Amino acid sequence: MRVTITDIKQMKQRGEKILMLTAYDYVTARMVDEADVPVILVGDSLGMVMLGYDSTIPVTMEDMIHHTKAVVRGAKNALVVGDMPFMTYQISLPDALSNATRFIQEGGAQAVKLEGGEAVAEQVRRLVACGIPVMGHLGLTPQSIHQLGGFKAQGRVATEAGRLLNDALILQEDGAFAIVLECTPAPLSELITSKLTIPTIGIGAGPGCDGQVQVISDVLGLYTDFVPRHAKQYARLAGEMKNAITAYASEVRSLAFPTQEHSITMDSGIIAELKAESNPAVIASEAKQSRAKQS
């Protein structure tokens, strides 16, 4: 049975840690799902870790829908949350509604995530009223890096901390079912978590959140351009993949691959017949080649 937003809210009530991981493709989503991770986020971080951009800003709705569909095909049980890209929900309410609808209807996701607090409160209210579950995202909101002055921790000074708490309460009031807290100081995350009835899911926000989320490429050690301070690599797959690619290239060059074992056999008589001049197909082909040479 697929996890629902009710299950996620009940996990907070039971004090059970909520796990979320990103995934961007079918194979990875299937693995994450089989590991019993209840929430999969198709994060717009895919712009960086899959598409090679230096921020999430260039990511489009088409990119997101394409990857969401693949993840949904691989996730049989997890709640799939689609991350709304930059400026697909801020410009107008109809825009927010039609783009969120695409995630649910075309992409097959069960919820959407959007960045911001009070500034997007109306959008959250409208989407929830229309039956689209919304996950909020506060703190370091990567779509606003130019405004924030880079990928920096948020909420360390009193005004910022107060604003973040206020934003969290507004998102809850407007119907968000959970809130991601990114790069907020641990004591502030803990305070916000204690003030909310909906779960907080932290990334670089300390252990006091109701749940944790990580970017799968960091967890697997696949993305090596940089490793954020809050990330922990549980494997070093980039190195293993490079070794496999180098081994393949070397075996093809040295004729060690493919061998008989990887080849398809057939009745040698057929080949002999094809080689024979009497074969009508061979004769026709040779006649054609000869005509081509003459003309």
Active site residues: 182
Residues 6+ apart with CB under 8 A from 205: 139, 181, 182, 183, 184, 185, 186, 189
Burial 35-54 (b: 16+ CB within 10 A, else e): eebbbbbbbbbbbbbbeeee
Q: In a 3-state reduction of DSSP, which class is residue 19?
A: strand
The minimum distance between CB 22 and ligand KIV, in angstroms, equals 4
Closest to ligand KIV by CB, 174 or 182 = 182
Q: Does 22 bind ligand KIV (CB under 6 A)?
A: yes
Closest to ligand KIV by CB, 233 or 279 = 233
The one among 83, 167, 174, 210 contacting ligand KIV by CB under 6 A:
83
The one among 213, 219, 220, 222 contacting ligand KIV by CB under 6 A:
213
The minimum distance between CB 263 and ligand KIV, in angstroms, equals 43
Are residues 22 and 216 in contact, defined by beta-carbon separation less than 8 angstroms? yes
Q: Does 215 bind ligand KIV (CB under 6 A)?
A: yes
The minimum distance between CB 47 and ligand KIV, in angstroms, equals 8
Nearest to 78 by CA among 19, 135, 15: 19
Per-residue mark of binding to ligand KIV, 115-144 (x: CB under 6 A): ----------------------x-------
The one among 28, 32, 40, 44 contacting ligand KIV by CB under 6 A:
44
How many residues belong to the site for ligand KIV (CB under 6 A)? 12
Eight-class DSSP state of 129: H
C-alpha 193, offset from chain centre:
25
Residues 6+ apart with CB under 8 A from 87: none
In the bound state, the residue with its beta carbon closest to ligand KIV is 43
- 128: which 2 tokens? 């929830």
Judged by the rule CB under 6 A, the positions of this chain that interact with ligand KIV are: 22, 41, 43-45, 83, 137, 180, 182, 203, 213, 215
